[in-house]
Amino acid sequence: MVQLRDGMWLPAEGVSTEYAEEVYDIAPLGDGQGLSLLCPVKQILRRGHALNTPTVTLDVKAEFDGIISLESTHWAGAQNNGPHFDLFPDGKPSSAQAKITESDDKGTTLSSGSLSATIDPAPHKFGIKFHSTDGTRQLTNLGSRSLGFAYTPAPSTPMQLGDMRDFRHYMFFQTNLSVGESIHGLGERFTAWNKVGQSVSLWNADGGTSSDQAYKNVPFWMSNRGYGVFVDNPGRVEYQIGSERATRVQTSIEGQRIKWYIIYGPSPKEVLKKYSILTGRPGKVPGWSFGLWLTTSFTTNYDEATVRSFLEGMKARDSPVDVFHYDCHWMKAFTWTDFVFDAERFPDPKGSIARLKEEGLCKKVCVWINPYIAQHGAVFKHAAERGYLLKRKNGDIFQWDLWQAGMGILDVTNPEARQWYADCLNRLFDMGVDSLKTDFGERIPSLDVQWHDPTADPHKMHNHYAFQYNQLVYETLQKRYGNDEAVLFARAATAGTQRFPLVWGGDCESTPEALAESIRGGLSMGMSGFAFWSCDIGGFEGSPPPWVYKRWVAMGLLCSHSRLHGSASYRVPWVVDDDDATEEGCSRTLAKWTSLKTRLMPYVYAQAIEAIDGGIPLSLRSLALEFPDDPTAWYIDRQFMVGSQILAAPVFEESGEVEFYLPKGKWTSYFTNEARTGPGWFREKHAFGTLPLYVRENTILVLGNRGQSGSVYDYTADAEVALYHVVPGAKTTVVDYDGKVVGELEVGSDGKLKDTSALKGHVQVSEGGRSLEGDAPVSIVAL
């Protein structure tokens, strides 16, 4: 972690830091879309001061409405090798016409639509303020000594820098952190959701959910003041967020230039919308992916008979499985990943998969893969001989015994290697595999490696590998099954990987604390532009006590995607509690929550389409995205929104007691139709079939027919439309099971639905909340 200062007054030991001290010259950029600022590291009070004085060049450019980029450079002759983030993948919008104004007293201002940057006019001073163009909102600023570069170790004379091999060079900037400002995002982070006070290093790592490491590092953060900042560098990015200096967010990278974008909303949803234009919108997922996923678990023993028994048991207990996942032991030990089913355990994989689908035991099948190729697998020699694996600088294949004995790593910069890997995947598709869990991809070496592409920077490849690997697999799925039928279950990610849904939260423990960690990770991921997120229901490591399993089931079935998965123990409900068949047992609890998500599918899929379009999370969605003017919402990290209209508060206590917050407005319990009025904190006690699940006022909630099973059915047939404190003009979108918009429902001036022609069959309209007829009794106690 880069630290520049030792307190307020001293430099950090062994670090030499140079700050831009004034804006010496302002010149227009060649394209007319911005300004180039020449910033010496000392004040130039007379001509002689320009000698032996380093400078920083800061290019400030209007990108499109509400976005300004800034690129700070020390030595412009340094190479800028890739990989680079794939920006504006759907095409760049028409650039905002840069408007440059000059004023003796206010300074020089560059405006990009709704966002402006104003350079301080005072002589011999460096300062830039970022604000709304209409002047109503001050966002942040680059103040005194906020931009520059640093060396470590500190050179004793500039002559030493003639040989840079013994020095590391960093670029940095520091935006102001205002009173009451909170910072969120930076990928899937399991520490406190508000990052103020934290030091964060963006470097993909396999560290589990109970650490400051992250599988998914995204150099984008959002402020509660209506703006976000994206750093255009896939390498390691270091942040000191109100930590090294309490009033600043410091960002640093190793290199000679740093480029970043400031994105103005003003709402957080608008910030994410613009960010998704910059880095890519989330891909669309098919309806079947929202159903219940079940895995074999990780190191557990299983074969074809085990798989069948699991699926038959789930169906018999009213929790039908939409997607069954074969984890790593579908291949033999020491051979991962060779794409070959273990013939002893699965003598007829193609026939077996076909029978599972034909008998209605699952709709789709997923298998576990990763980009690591074990030396003892069937494909290692083939890949090695053809140069498909990453090499060391001396020409050897890069191998280590971390994870798989003698494993190599797929070289995703080699077009032939990518095609070979795609061919391997297509052979799996020929067997009936529909989806792929792309595990690992975090431990990508950055030292002593040589990629096939000689211009690939090994340092930048470490994080960016997750993008390139998942892109390869996702596009292979798209070519086989269609653009909107491709589904990944990926662990590693970086900026842009939201285009290849979906991701899950990695290795968590089977504890209530880990459940809370997972929620924080999902909330942070949602603030980083990812629409779809899942977790290991029940926890991955260890064996969950029945009460933890059941509480996690409730939370997990309210995620956008829901998967039961463990490490050394199964996650089918009957093995967790010795097949307790009572209403409060694991099997009945899972059945209730699976049924609830099935009923919610018309709402869930309609919300998913909105999430894709807006680059916002479906679930877990922060309350702050829906209630940005509520200060409390920016500190809530134990509950979440499912789409825009439903609030969920998971339970973390064995007693069933839970404290939760409702923002301003009327909120109606999904389970009882009892209403509460926010803002305020409330306490309730819940049995295992419920949790605080509240529907927002002015909601038209379309629910599927009670008799449906699984996530794919005709959402428009025999539906119930529940009205929750609606007012004239309230609307909702109706989608079919392909996610296509088929109509709209609207409340008329009389408070009634105008028209239900978008639906067919028997349409039940329920006022004052949904019909509770046919529900099992619930036990909710207000405390």
Q: Are 770 and 673 in contact (CB under 8 A)?
A: yes
Q: Choose the catalytic residue: 181, 188, 206, 442.
A: 442
Known catalytic membership, residue 442: yes
DSSP letters of 616-662? --SBSB-HHHH-TT-GGGGG--S-EEETTTEEE----STT-EEEEEE
The residue from 244, 439, 517, 536 that is catalytic is 439
* CA torsion, ordered 63, 64, 67, 69, to nearest 10 deg: 0
Tally of CA atoms within 13 A in the half-sphere of 111 that contains its CB: 12
Strand partners, 323: 293, 364
Q: Is 342 helix (H, G, I), strand (E, B) or coil?
A: coil
Nearest to 69 by CA among 109, 112, 107: 112
Beta carbons within 10 angstroms of residue 504's beta carbon: 29
CA distance 123 to 327: 64
Active site residue 507: yes
How many other CB atoms sit within 10 Å of the CB of residue 83? 21
Residues 6+ apart with CB under 8 A from 310: 294, 296, 324, 570, 572
User: Whole-angstrom Cα distance, residue 717 to residue 764?
Assistant: 11
Angle, helices 268-279/586-614, rounded to nearest 10 degrees: 70
The first and second tokens of residue 558, run together, are 């309210």
Q: What is the DSSP letter of 453?
A: S
Select which of 120, 327, 507, 684 is catalytic: 507
Q: How far is CA 341 from CA 294, 337, 474, 488, in A?
A: 19, 10, 22, 20
439 counts as catalytic: yes
Cα 436 from Cα 738, distance rounded (Å): 21
Coil, strand or helix at 46: coil
Which residues are known to be catalytic? 439, 442, 507
